[in-house]
Chains A and B, each alone.
Chain A
Amino acid sequence: MPEFKLDNHSVSFLEGQTIMQAALEAGLYIPHLCFHPEFKPHGSCRVCIVHTNGRYVSSCTTLAEQGAQVISEQAEVQRQRRNLLEMLFIEGNHVCPSCEKSGSCTLQSVAEYCGMLSPTLPFQFPQRKVDASHPDTLLDFNRCILCELCVRASREVDHKSVFAISGRGIQAHLVVDSADGRLVNSLFASTDRAASVCPVGVILPKHKGFVEPIGQRRFDLIPISRQQEKAD
Chain B
Amino acid sequence: MTRISIDPISRVEGHGKITLQQNERLEITEARLHIVEFRGFEKFIQGRPYQEVPVLVQRLCGICPVSHHLAAAKATDMLLGVKQLSPTADKMRRLMHFGQVLQSHALHFFHLSSPDLLFGYDDEVRHRNIIGVIQDHPELAKQGVLLRKYGQEVIRLTSGKRIHGTGAIPGGINKFLSADERDYLQRDSAQIIAWAQSAVELFKTIFYQHQTYHQQFASISSHMMSLVQPNGALELYDGGLRVRKADNTLAYDHYDPAHYLQLIGEHIEPWSYMKFPFLKALGVADGWYRVGPLARINNCNFIDTPLAEEQRQQFKALNNGLPVQFTLAYHWARLIELLHCAESIATLLQDPDLLQGDLTVQGEMQSVGIGVIEAPRGTLMHHYEIDADGLITRANLIVSTTHNNRAMNESIRQVASRYLSGNTITEPLLNQLEVAVRAYDPCLSCATHALGKMPLEVTLLDQHGEVLDRRLKSTVDG
Residues of A within 8 A of B (CB): 97-100, 129-130, 132-133, 138, 140, 206-216
Contact = CB atoms under 8 A, between A and B. Distances in A.
Interface stretch (B50-58, B93-101, B302-310): B50-58
Interface in B137-163: 159-161
A187 to B, nearest CB: 19
A186 to B, nearest CB: 15
A203 to B, nearest CB: 13
Interface stretch (B166-174, B369-377, B448-456): B166-174
B389 interface: yes
A207 B51 contact: yes
B165 A132 contact: no
Given A98-B59, A132-B389, A214-B160, A209 B51 contact: yes
Contacts of A132: 49, 389-391
A98 B52 CA distance: 7
A209 B389 contact: no
17 contacts: A97-B164, A98-B59, A100-B52, A129-B47, A130-B47, A130-B391, A132-B49, A138-B49, A140-B49, A207-B390, A209-B49, A209-B51, A209-B169, A210-B54, A211-B360, A214-B159, A214-B165
Nearest to B173: A213
A215 B391 CA distance: 28
A211 B160 contact: no
Given A98-B56, A130-B49, A214 B390 contact: no
A100 B159 CA distance: 14
B175 interface: yes
B48 interface: yes
A98 B54 CA distance: 9
Contact of B167 (A133, A140, A208, A213): A213
Contacts of A206: 49, 390
Interface in B380-408: 389-391
B164 A211 contact: no
A211 B174 contact: yes
A98 B49 CA distance: 11
Interface in B46-94: 47-49, 51-52, 54-56, 59
B47 A209 contact: no
Nearest to B165: A214
Contacts of B166: 210, 213-214
Contacts of B360: 211
A140 to B, nearest CB: 8
A129 B165 CA distance: 26
Secondary structure dominating the interface of B? loop
B161 A214 contact: yes
Most A Cβ at <10 Å: residue of B59, B170, B174, B389: B389
Interface in B2-50: 47-49
Given A210-B51, A210-B55, A213-B175, 20 more contacts: A97-B56, A97-B164, A98-B59, A100-B52, A129-B47, A130-B391, A132-B389, A132-B391, A133-B389, A138-B390, A140-B49, A207-B390, A208-B51, A209-B51, A209-B55, A210-B166, A210-B169, A212-B174, A214-B165, A216-B175
B390 A97 contact: no
A107 B100 CA distance: 32
Given A206-B390, A213-B174, A100 B51 contact: yes
Nearest to A131: B389
A206 B160 CA distance: 22
A127 to B, nearest CB: 10
A140 B51 CA distance: 13
Nearest to B57: A98
Interface residues of B, number: 24
A209 B56 CA distance: 11
B40 to A, nearest CB: 14
Nearest to B51: A209
A38 B80 CA distance: 37
A140 B391 CA distance: 11
Nearest to B156: A214
Contacts of A140: 49
A168 to B, nearest CB: 27
Interface in B314-364: 360
Contacts of A138: 49, 389-390
A126 to B, nearest CB: 14
Nearest to B365: A207
Contacts of A208: 51
A215 B52 contact: no
Contacts of B390: 132, 138, 206-207
Contacts of A213: 160, 166-167, 174-175
B169 A211 contact: yes
A81 to B, nearest CB: 28
Nearest to A129: B47
Contacts of A207: 51, 170, 390
Select the residue from B159, B165, B175 with max chain A CB neighbours within 10 A.
Answer: B175
A206 B386 CA distance: 14
Contacts of A212: 174
A170 to B, nearest CB: 22
A130 B51 contact: no
Contacts of B165: 214
Contact of A97 (B55, B174, B391): B55
Contacts of A211: 169, 174, 360
Contacts of B169: 209-211
A98 to B, nearest CB: 4
A184 B59 CA distance: 32
B164 A209 contact: no
Contacts of B167: 213
A91 B378 CA distance: 40
Contacts of A100: 51-52, 55
Contacts of B161: 214
A207 B159 CA distance: 19
B99 to A, nearest CB: 15
- The 3 lowest CB-CB distance pairs between A and B, nearest first, are A214-B160, A209-B51, A98-B56
A208 B389 CA distance: 14
A61 B389 CA distance: 40
A214 B175 CA distance: 9
